[in-house]
Structure 1
């Protein structure tokens, strides 16, 4: 008989923070608790079920190195500066720099993770679209290698990324309703990019600039190094698997969205093998 864990023990066993655990358990359908009597009483979890989930997470997680990050940062900076003019300096547009760069980098990290995951686990080579375009990029996977040559994929693939604690794959209304913009399959990723990623990249330059300043001693040993960025390739679904809604737990949308709980995405090895055959 498998061991039952209390919620506190389950949180420790999975190595998640309380908020992420609750989000995965209550909203994302990532793992269940043991049935409770009439929905009352303490939460208990099956250790074997959690171990299987933890092993699946480890299998689907890709480590992204500094070169992977630099590729994504290069894309983000090109996006930022393509419409940049000097008059933007000091404006609201300029002050949004950090958040915009993080969002772009996050999205590209997910794409690189999918590429590395498919190569590592299934020896499938794909090409991604990292070109800077004026028009919306319709599909994220632009080519698949077959018999030593790259060919156009048989289906459209969109790759979406969000924060590690996010419980839902979320698509905008136009992404689904407008046929020309829609993908057949959506892959969801959760890259764990630190908020201070730019500081980590430029640590030496920052240290050099502030080493003689009055407060340097207070934080000089706290300056973080750049480390590999883990990215969970969560799973995938067909666009018809998405449900239409105007809200998810904790968030009201300003219109219609199409969503899927991350725990209900297709994520087993058999599921991924099925996807590779469709490419």
Structure 2
């Protein structure tokens, strides 16, 4: 017998915050409500939601401190390759935290895919963590076969966004320019905390402020570094992307973007096997 849940019960079952639930339900098509008439309240099938949550857990990889450090190393190398000494103290420095977070987030997604492929399918891949003078569209540069790494047969780009994001989004040049385009795009949602740099430097910060008058007000609130969960959401072919000028809650400046709802990505075990067979 089907057990029906209210929206509040559904949110509690999935362990999502209200905004993420709304995005996944209304915008991403991750899961659906039961048929309703007019302004009837939303109702959900408990078994369907449990199945969705089970799949989410299966696709989630916990990334450790070493994974994070590898990504931070890449982000810092990206940052400093564009800077000279005269840049310090200028307005460009105010962008540091956000840029580092964006770069770390992107690389975390790549490592999550690498670990997911190995854990679930026994497939080893090589990622490109080198610093290049120009944009390199392909993120997977090697596939282990017969104990040797070979080049992939297709181009694969790995994109990351926040956990609450409902869409895989790519810039128009990434798709319209053949030299920048990938055949396949994999979408990830790493849950990297905004204060990750604070967590990294907690001991140094405590040492610096422990004798200050306000330290007692927040000393027990300083967070520790924990593993970073990353959902390997799914994948799509570039031809399956839709060109749009906006998505719910966001109008794009300067033209269009190519997008795919996260719930419409290929994400079943058989889907992933099909992708791996193409590599």
TM-score, normalised relative to structure 2: 0.99
Query: 1:36 is paired with a residue of what secondary structure?
Result: coil
Match of 1:137 in 2: 136
Query: 2:30 is paired with a residue of what secondary structure?
Result: coil
Instruction: Kindly state the Cα deviation for residue 257 of structure 1 after the two structures are TM-superposed.
Output: 0.4
Match of 1:95 in 2: 94
Match of 1:256 in 2: 256
Match of 2:108 in 1: 109
Instruction: Kindly state the Cα deviation for residue 90 of structure 1 after the two structures are TM-superposed.
Output: 2.1
Structure 1 portions without partners, runs of 5+: none
Give the whole-Å Cα distance in 2 for the aligned partners of 1:14 and 1:248.
Answer: 24
Q: Does 1:163 align with 2:154?
A: no
Q: How does 1:54-65 map to 2 (within 5 A)?
A: 54-65=53-64
Instruction: Kindly state the Cα deviation for residue 83 of structure 1 after the two structures are TM-superposed.
Output: 1.6
Give the whole-Å Cα distance in 1 for the aligned partners of 2:278 and 2:78.
Answer: 31
Give the whole-Å Cα distance in 2 for the aligned partners of 1:92 and 1:106.
Answer: 23
Give the whole-Å Cα distance in 2 for the aligned partners of 1:226 and 1:138.
Answer: 31
Q: Does 1:213 align with 2:212?
A: yes
Deviations for 1:13-59, whole angstroms, at most 9, x for unmatched residues? 0000000000000000000000102x421000000110000000000
Instruction: Kindly state the Cα deviation for residue 231 of structure 1 after the two structures are TM-superposed.
Output: 0.2
Instruction: Kindly state the Cα deviation for residue 138 of structure 1 after the two structures are TM-superposed.
Output: 2.0
TM-score, normalised relative to structure 1: 0.99
Match of 1:200 in 2: 199
Give the whole-Å Cα distance in 2 for the aligned partners of 1:191 and 1:202.
Answer: 21
Match of 2:269 in 1: 269
Instruction: Kindly state the Cα deviation for residue 113 of structure 1 after the two structures are TM-superposed.
Output: 0.2
Match of 1:72 in 2: 71
Query: 1:120 is paired with a residue of what secondary structure?
Result: helix
Query: 1:96 is paired with a residue of what secondary structure?
Result: helix
